[in-house]
């Protein structure tokens, strides 16, 4: 099989050489120019290789490294900014919590002060009411006493007048006064 394939390749090359007209003027296919073609091929590809290797490849590598370092720096900076933002967020949350606690304390203290103020004013008002009640009770007792005394005087005069008109004679005022005072004392005891 190998022999057949080798024989086929050699025959194909010979046929192609004649078929393509290497003798008719195509120097690329003429074996006598192959050495020059190989020389120029090696020279051109070596030059291209050296130019790419020494000039373009370092620039491309430098550009890639710069991009890589820029990306790494940007990622580091983004990470620092993220950590800074998280730190600021935590500080903000702490400030809010502290403010809430302070506000709650202020409200509680205000409520306590208000309750104390209300209690003290309530006690003052209760004391004033107590004083007013005592004064009113005293006035009522005084009024009752004076009213009962006035009633006794009026009762004495009315009784004397009624007895005078009924009996048509002058009545002994001291007897009527004693009776009225006796009845008034009994009634005063009931009402006081």
**pLDDT tens by residue, the chain, 192 residues:** 666 666 665 666 655 555 454 455 677 788 888 888 899 999 999 999 999 999 999 999 999 999 999 999 999 999 999 999 999 999 999 999 999 999 999 999 999 999 999 999 999 999 999 998 988 888 888 887 777 677 777 777 777 777 777 777 776 777 777 777 777 777 666 665
Q: Please state, in angstroms and rounded to a whole number, the distance separating the CA atoms of residues 182 and 174.
A: 12
- Cα–Cα separations (whole angstroms), residue 7 to 3, 11, 51: 6, 6, 42
Q: What is the pLDDT of residue 47?
A: 95
CA nearest neighbour of 152 among 188, 126, 122, 120: 188
Q: What is the pLDDT of residue 189?
A: 65
DSSP state of 170: -
Q: Please state, in angstroms and rounded to a whole number, the distance separating the CA atoms of residues 90 and 134.
A: 65
Tell me the H-state helices in 29-56: 34-51
Q: Please state, in angstroms and rounded to a whole number, the distance separating the CA atoms of residues 157 and 159.
A: 5
Q: Please state, in angstroms and rounded to a whole number, the distance separating the CA atoms of residues 27 and 113.
A: 114
User: Which tokens go with 64?
Assistant: 């890639």
Q: What is the pLDDT of residue 179?
A: 74
Where b means 16+ CB within 10 Å and e means fewer, 49-63 reads eeeeeeeeeeeeeee
Q: What is the pLDDT of residue 191?
A: 60
What burial class does residue 180 get, using C-beta atoms within 10 Å of its C-beta: 0-12 exposed, 13-18 middle, 19+ buried? buried
């Amino acid at each position: 099989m190998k022999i057949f394939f080798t024989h086929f390749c050699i025959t194909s090359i010979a046929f192609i050489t004649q078929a393509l007209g290497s003798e008719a003027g195509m120097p690329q296919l003429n074996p006598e120019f192959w050495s020059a073609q190989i020389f120029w091929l090696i020279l051109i590809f070596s030059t291209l290789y050296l130019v790419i290797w020494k000039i373009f490849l370092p620039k491309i590598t430098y550009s890639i490294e710069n991009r890589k370092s820029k990306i790494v720096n940007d990622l580091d900076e983004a990470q620092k900014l993220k950590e800074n933002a998280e730190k600021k967020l935590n500080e903000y949350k702490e400030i809010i919590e502290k403010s809430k606690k302070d506000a709650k304390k202020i409200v509680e203290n205000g409520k306590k002060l208000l309750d104390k103020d209300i209690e003290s004013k309530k006690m003052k008002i209760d004391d004033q009411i107590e004083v007013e009640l005592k004064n009113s009770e005293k006035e009522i007792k005084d009024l009752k006493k004076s009213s009962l005394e006035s009633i006794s005087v009026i009762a004495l005069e009315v009784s004397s007048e009624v007895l005078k008109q009924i009996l048509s004679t002058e009545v002994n005022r001291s007897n009527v006064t004693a009776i009225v005072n006796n009845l008034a004392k009994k009634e005063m005891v009931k009402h006081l």
